[in-house]
């Protein structure tokens, strides 16, 4: 049944929400379980999300016994694994490519359909494949699938042309059993990678993360059972802080890691937003009009691209003109046309968006084109006068656990309503975006 999110906007949100486990930490950590043999990985604070279910389904098709209850997940990995990944799951979620490194390391081979692009970019995996080749894997592309094989990977030095999160994760997992030392350079430094490294080290890997953007991996023969906890989801937490800002409300987000949200905190302070910061919580206080600010998205610790759509919605009501440069993905502006339908005044020039602050946003029927675009439209709907309907909610369920429930806890008038076939057609609801 397709659904839409109906929001009656104009209400100043007020209250406290807790942060879910980080989707982008849990996904690589789930994939890392493939490195185990007749062992078990227990995880706490695993968020209840569509992408997590997709990864769990993928691991199950490879032979892993996955059980999940109350945000705790147990992964029992047998001695023998399947190394061919099903096309339907890989194409459903690009992060499926994170099983490639562990499978080649554990089984000596892997067959995986190329994940393909999505609405924010072509999303190639050339850096992943180049790194595996450097480690001695044979990589062949055949009928749109990667065929990788290796008679044992060997440690080496790999310089990443771009600090790719996925390539860093895939290659450090592949290096766990490589013979000798692997030095990864110019790596991504997102906190989710540190969570993966600490989990692998709990399993008996020998990985050292250096502040200079290098990761050193000493190959070991096997890993052991372990228990680990997923870090808080910094992007989800910041999305709720921005929900407080855009509605001029007072929102406290708890159970987050302050060091992981510095970039947003600095921007909000620059925009004149009154903030209170304690050990593991941040509160935004009421403010009628934020100041226009400009930013460029960058790899961590720069301003995260995964918050770009959300802060753009917030700045559409700022006092003045803001400039946002998107430097990480080539086409992460598809939310702009939908925001402009709601009365925003945003112009695109290449990879730069010029956001002229307007007095108010107005409700409309709008369509989510990807996960964070959906979050951006939800924020705009919360601030808009009268009603907004957001279609293609499937994108939102990929990354935000119980977002409608959390917004209602903050006083938002948010409901999930069924969508009939006519509305689906009129609003271009796509299968992957639908419910
Ligand atoms: C991860 O994607 C995140 N996903 C993304 O979050 C996030 O936006 C992105 O990192 C950047 O922070 C997960 O962790 C599951 P990249 P990933 O490899 O690993 C280019 C969300 O909303 N590139 O760092 O795919 C690529 O095209 C999602 O939660 C190559 O050219 O990102 C892009 O322009 C969206 N060749 C840039 O690097 C490669 O081999 C960054 O990609 C790999 C990447």
The answer to whether residue 273 scores a pLDDT higher than 60 is yes
CA-closest residue to ligand 1 atom 9: 165
SS3 82: coil
Do residues 196 and 304 both lie within one domain? no
Which tokens in the block code for residue 37?
A: 């043999």
Residue 435 lies in a domain: no
Do residues 385 and 331 both lie within one domain? yes
Do residues 165 and 65 both lie within one domain? yes
The answer to whether residue 435 scores a pLDDT higher than 60 is no
The answer to whether residue 434 scores a pLDDT higher than 80 is no
Domain boundary pick from 211, 229, 247? 229
Do residues 87 and 209 both lie within one domain? yes
Do residues 176 and 270 both lie within one domain? no
Do residues 241 and 312 both lie within one domain? yes
Do residues 243 and 149 both lie within one domain? no
The answer to whether residue 184 scores a pLDDT higher than 60 is yes
If pLDDT is split at 50, 70 and 90, which confidence band does 91 have?
Answer: confident
Mean pLDDT over each residue of the chain, to the nearest integer = 95
Residue 432 lies in a domain: no
Do residues 252 and 131 both lie within one domain? no
Which of 162, 331, 375 should be mutated for ligand 1, with most atoms under 8 A from CB? Answer: 162
Residue 434 lies in a domain: no
Q: What angle do CA 268, 26, 177 make, to 5 degrees?
A: 125
The answer to whether residue 425 scores a pLDDT higher than 80 is no
What digits encode the pLDDT tens for the residues 107-151? Answer: 999 999 988 667 778 778 999 999 999 999 999 999 889 999 999
Do residues 296 and 217 both lie within one domain? no
Query: Using CA atoms, how far apart are residues 225 and 240, in angstroms rounded to an integer?
Result: 35
Do residues 289 and 418 both lie within one domain? yes
Q: How many domains does the chain have?
A: 2
Average pLDDT, integer, range 308-314: 98
- pLDDT score for 293: 98
Do residues 16 and 51 both lie within one domain? no
Query: Using CA atoms, how far apart are residues 224 and 203, in angstroms rounded to an integer?
Result: 5
Query: Using CA atoms, how far apart are residues 338 and 317, in angstroms rounded to an integer?
Result: 15
**What is the percentage of the chain residues whose pLDDT exceeds 90?**
90
Residue 286 lies in a domain: yes
Domain range for 363 is: 3-20+232-427
Ligand 1: distance of its center to the CA of 124 in Å? 9
118 is catalytic: yes
- Give the CATH number, domain containing residue 33: 3.65.10.10
Among the listed residues 3, 107, 118, 238, the single catalytic one is 118
Residue 124 lies in a domain: yes
């Amino acid at each position: 049944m397709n659904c839409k999110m109906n929001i009656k906007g104009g209400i100043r949100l007020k209250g406290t929400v807790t942060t879910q486990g980080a989707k982008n930490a849990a996904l690589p950590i789930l994939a890392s379980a493939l490195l185990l043999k007749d062992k078990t990985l227990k995880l706490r604070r695993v968020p209840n999300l569509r992408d997590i279910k997709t990864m769990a389904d993928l691991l199950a098709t490879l032979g892993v016994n996955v059980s999940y209850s109350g945000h705790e997940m147990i992964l029992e990995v047998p001695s023998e694994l399947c190394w061919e990944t099903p096309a339907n799951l890989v194409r459903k979620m690009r992060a499926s490519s994170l099983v490639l490194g562990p499978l080649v390391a554990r089984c000596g081979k892997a067959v995986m359909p190329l994940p393909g692009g999505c609405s924010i970019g072509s999303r190639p995996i050339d850096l992943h494949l180049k790194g595996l080749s450097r480690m001695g894997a044979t990589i062949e592309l055949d009928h749109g699938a990667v065929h990788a094989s290796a008679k044992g990977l060997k440690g080496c030095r790999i310089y990443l042309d771009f600090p790719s999160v996925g390539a860093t994760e895939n290659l450090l997992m592949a290096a766990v059993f490589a013979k000798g030392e692997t030095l990864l350079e110019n790596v991504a430094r997102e906190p989710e990678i540190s969570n993966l490294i600490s989990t692998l080290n709990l399993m008996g890997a020998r990985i050292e993360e250096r502040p200079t953007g290098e990761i050193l991996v000493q190959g070991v023969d096997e890993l052991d059972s372990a228990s680990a906890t997923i870090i808080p989801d910094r992007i989800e937490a910041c999305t709720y802080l921005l929900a407080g800002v855009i509605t001029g409300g007072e929102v406290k987000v708890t159970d987050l890691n302050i060091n992981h949200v510095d970039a947003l905190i600095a921007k909000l302070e620059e925009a004149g937003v009154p903030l209170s910061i304690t050990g593991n919580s941040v509160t935004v206080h009421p403010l009628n009009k934020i100041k226009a600010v400009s930013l460029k998205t960058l790899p961590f610790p720069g301003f995260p691209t995964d918050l770009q759509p959300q802060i753009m919605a917030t700045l559409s009501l700022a006092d003045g003109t803001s400039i946002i440069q998107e430097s990480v993905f080539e086409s992460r502006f598809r939310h702009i046309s939908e925001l402009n339908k709601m009365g925003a005044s945003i112009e695109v020039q290449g990879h730069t968006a010029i956001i002229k602050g307007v007095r108010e946003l107005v409700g409309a029927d709008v369509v989510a084109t990807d996960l964070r675009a959906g979050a951006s439209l939800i924020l705009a709907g919360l601030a808009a006068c009268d009603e907004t309907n957001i279609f293609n909610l499937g994108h939102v369920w990929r990354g935000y656990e119980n977002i409608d429930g959390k917004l209602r806890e903050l006083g938002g008038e948010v409901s999930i309503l069924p969508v009939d076939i006519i509305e689906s057609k009129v609003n271009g609801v796509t299968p992957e975006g639908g419910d």
